[in-house]
Chain A
Amino acid sequence: MKKTLFDKVWDSHVVSSVKHGPDILYIDKHLIHEVTSPQAFNVLEEKGIPLFRPNQVVATADHNVPTENQHLPIQDALSRKQVSQLTKNCEAHGVNLFGLGHPYQGIVHVIGPELGVTQPGMTMVCGDSHTSTHGAFGTIAFGIGTSQVAQVFASQCVLVDKPKSMRVVVSGKLHPAVEPKDVVLYVIAKLGTDAGTGYFVEFAGNVFEEMSMEGRMTVCNMSIEMGARGGMIAPDQTTFDYVSKREFAPKGEALEAKIAHWKSLPTDDGAAFDAEHHFDAADIRPMITYGTNPGMGIKIADKIPSSDDASFVKSLEYMGLEADTYLLDMPISHVFIGSCTNSRIEDFRAAAAHIKGKQKSPDVAALIVPGSQQVAKQIVAEGLDQIFESAGFKLRQPGCSACLAMNDDKIPAGAYCVSTSNRNFEGRQGQGARTLLASPVTAAAAAVAGKIVDVSQV
């Protein structure tokens, strides 16, 4: 029988199926962080059971770490407690922790791939919906709730119904100003935020084949924003080249054997999907969102659409925007370049290339937050820090930062922030904050101009 990439990886991880119920899915790698794990560790203690496979768990502190003075104790008492609880739990249960101060610390979805923890054909989970990021490697990776974190602690498995399969094909030639973030914002704007619910998505077509691993991660990261539990891209030479250099990846003959297996994973010709969507790459332009869900996106040069729908009206009211008007040239006061969507070295190279030799607008506060300590180090090694700092951008230390405003990096009420993160929900970047999602280049350009610009027109 012809199988999809998703079927191949899923089926090879099913321990058994509950009659008229879910599959018991075996999990190869379990990533954890400080926010969604403490209650799961409590479950182990309440039940008096051990962590079943501690060496398949990798931990880091990212969601509420400060992005300044990371060598000092965390000032916020609750954040400090949560981060120290993670350290205690990892010590007690023998979990490898890349905590604050560790050279591998960073956003969980940046460090997994960068360290080679993430490998093709694996199943991975994390108590975080953007676990979908790791699907860029041909991995089944999805977010879970804390009860399920406890289940994986106890059994290295989750009970989950097998999702349906969807293929999103983008083929043709991209406009040179279009970035991976624009591609995924375009797809979500076309399909809507619930189109993927109940599905696992495979992104296929030459556009994804030609993308770097960083770009593929940006795309798969946002699968959840169209409702899909996860997104996947078939592993190929680009994937193998990326993985083989990584610290925790297999080496030598073991790597050769793995690569031979990974080559068998792509979807068989003629395999069937439950749903399929095709898009022409040439139609995509730099994108931006105007509303309070990631599906409310437009080409930057286009008008905000209009609708009588009550939820749509409520959304524009929150954003302080009007239907049938242009976002182009609208002044903004904040820019955030970071998050698990766009905080890898390629994102900062792209932003720096635009910023080089320019100054940020005096009316804009611009924050650059690397996804990991390794990315931060690379930024310095390539001299990008000089470009950012001399242009007036603030370069911070790694963490989730203003993507969800759990630390001090918040956008003030009413302020417009062009952000490279993944969610423009009400209050996501701070109470009353107004988020406009875009690519790193569009964000950098907005910081320089002090307003929304269309980089395809510059």
Chain B
Amino acid sequence: MEKFTLLKSNMVPLTVENVDTDQIIPARFLKATDRKGFGENLFRDWRFTPDGQIKEDFALNQSQYKGAILVAGNNFGCGSSREHAAWALADYGFKVVISSFFADIFKGNALNNGILPIQVSLENLQRIFAAIDQDPSVEAIVDIENQKLLIDAAGIAVTFEINDYKKMCLINGYDDIDYLISQKEAIEAFEQKRA
């Protein structure tokens, strides 16, 4: 995983609530056996009509919205456990998703792919949407070390939650799998004890 400490970026607003992972990446695109290229089909059926025409009213297709931060409505990432959703967001270029609530499995998948889910209050989420609506070029600063989200234009300077372990992983680019492999002796001892 790449190291991730600080990000300054514009934001892309996706106001709809309960965005499920079937919308993030529809099942028909899950047939790959590697992790590459999923960004092409991110939000496929919201970005394109069935015959491949661009849907102009969708935020990702509107040139005024850009950046590596997706701001999404409540309960983002619900439904299927498909990690392809996180791969698609990462491949498209998103590094952070801000929402008022995240589904559990998505949150874990995002962190395992270097995407930081930032949970803010519903009130702050509305303020961020309003600020982007007023000026799409508004910038956000995400400081992982200090767990700060700063959006001057929205009057937002908040501390976000992330456990120390996951923070350490993001900052250093560590994967859980390496940590678990390092614990093999303890795991074997646990197995012996139960046998």
A binding-site residues for B, Cβ under 8 Å: 15-16, 18-22, 24, 26, 35-36, 38-39, 42-43, 47, 49, 52, 63-64, 76, 78-79, 81-82, 85, 127-129, 131, 143-148, 150-151, 154-157, 159-161, 163, 193-194, 197-198, 224, 227, 229, 293, 309-311, 314, 404-406, 413, 423, 425-428, 431-432
Contacts and interface: CB of A to CB of B under 8 A. Distances in A.
Most buried by A among B31, B175, B190: B31
B195 to A, nearest CB: 12
A227 B101 CA distance: 11
A22 B165 contact: yes
Interface of B: 15-18, 20, 22-23, 26-28, 30-35, 45, 50, 73-75, 78-84, 86, 101-105, 108-109, 112-113, 163-166, 175-177, 179-181, 183-184, 186-187, 190-191
A36 B23 contact: no
Nearest to B36: A39
Given A22-B165, A155-B180, A127 B104 contact: no
Given A293-B20, A310-B16, A129 B164 contact: no
Nearest to A228: B104
A406 B104 contact: no
A194 B101 contact: yes
Contacts of B176: 147-148, 151, 159
A16 B185 CA distance: 12
A151 B102 CA distance: 22
B140 to A, nearest CB: 23
Contacts of B17: 309, 311
Nearest to A37: B33
A423 B180 contact: no
A145 B89 CA distance: 15
Contact of A157 (B23, B83, B180): B180
Contacts of A311: 16-18, 73
Contacts of A432: 50
Given A16-B186, A39-B34, A147 B112 contact: yes
A201 B164 CA distance: 27
Contact of B177 (A150, A293, A404, A405): A150
26 contacts: A15-B186, A15-B190, A20-B165, A21-B163, A22-B165, A24-B180, A24-B187, A26-B190, A42-B33, A81-B31, A81-B33, A143-B81, A145-B109, A147-B112, A148-B108, A148-B112, A150-B177, A155-B177, A156-B187, A194-B75, A227-B103, A311-B17, A404-B80, A406-B27, A425-B22, A427-B45
Contacts of A146: 83-84
The 8 residue pairs across chains A and B that have the minimum distance between CB atoms: A21-B165, A145-B83, A78-B31, A143-B81, A145-B109, A20-B164, A147-B112, A38-B33
B33 A144 contact: no
A269 B152 CA distance: 52
Contact of B163 (A22, A36, A293): A22
B164 A19 contact: yes
A36 B81 contact: yes
B126 to A, nearest CB: 12
A150 B177 CA distance: 7
Contacts of A85: 33
Most chain A beta carbons < 10 A, residue from B35, B73, B104: B104
A281 to B, nearest CB: 27
B31 A427 contact: no
Nearest to B35: A39
B180 A161 contact: no
Contacts of B86: 145
A82 B76 CA distance: 28
Given A151-B177, A405-B27, 10 more contacts: A42-B33, A47-B181, A63-B27, A76-B31, A78-B32, A145-B81, A145-B86, A147-B109, A154-B177, A428-B22
A310 B15 contact: yes
A393 B22 CA distance: 28
**Which of A15, A16, A154 is packed against the most chain B CB atoms within 10 Å?**
A15
A150 B76 CA distance: 24
A143 B166 CA distance: 20
Given A151-B176, A311-B18, A425-B23, A198 B104 contact: yes
Contact of B81 (A63, A128, A425): A128
A159 B182 CA distance: 13
